[in-house]
Amino acid sequence: PLGSGGMARVYRAYHPKLDRYVAVKVLRSDLVDDPTFLSRFRQEAQSVAALRHPNIIQVFDFDVETENDMYYMVMELLDGDSLHTRVNDYRIRDDKMPYGEMVRIMLDVLDGLDYAHAEGVIHRDIKPANILLTKKGQAVLADFGIAQIIGSTQHTVSGALLGTLNYMAPEQGLTGSC
């Protein structure tokens, strides 16, 4: 296991046909009977797979293992940690992240977001845990689980909050529609 979120768990796995390790995101078993979650999971896989940018995680495959009713997507496995982990490491050492590193990460994130927005995809859950860092320091956006595809059908009831409260823009909490 690499981590888990509101919709899925992510595992490190070996892909024999590609002869490399990958990340496999598996939809939680209690959500497979909910067509809304299945649709969101499928939409995430399709929208992110269509994006080709060095600062956005790559999706290689999406499928369902019918015998166990297990929905999953296969993504690239990065060799670093998350921005959340990096910031906590600095905090534990009672240190601050160097400005150069902060700027480099921010520029990578903005570059990835600019590309995604130009392609009609809005992430909607930018937070340190969803920004992965390679060993070379490159920031890569991950977890597009609640992304909004411009022009697509909404997958939430009107007024529902989407995202992580601590990282939401204030206007999202007021309107619930961003």
Residues 6+ apart with CB under 8 A from 48: 56, 57, 58, 59, 75, 121, 144, 147
Report how far residue 138's alpha carbon sits from residue 53's, in angstroms, rounded to the nearest whole number: 12
For 74, phi then psi, to 5°, come to -105, 125
Query: Is residue 125 among the annotated active site residues?
Result: yes
For 146, phi then psi, to 5°, come to -120, 25
Report yes or no: 137 and 101 within 8 Å, Cβ to Cβ. yes
Residues 6+ apart with CB under 8 A from 115: 51, 53, 55, 56
Report how far residue 125's alpha carbon sits from residue 120's, in angstroms, rounded to the nearest whole number: 16
Catalytic residue among 30, 69, 89, 125: 125
Report how far residue 153's alpha carbon sits from residue 148's, in angstroms, rounded to the nearest whole number: 9
Report how far apart the first and last C-alpha atoms of the chain are (Å, whole number): 32
Catalytic residues: 125
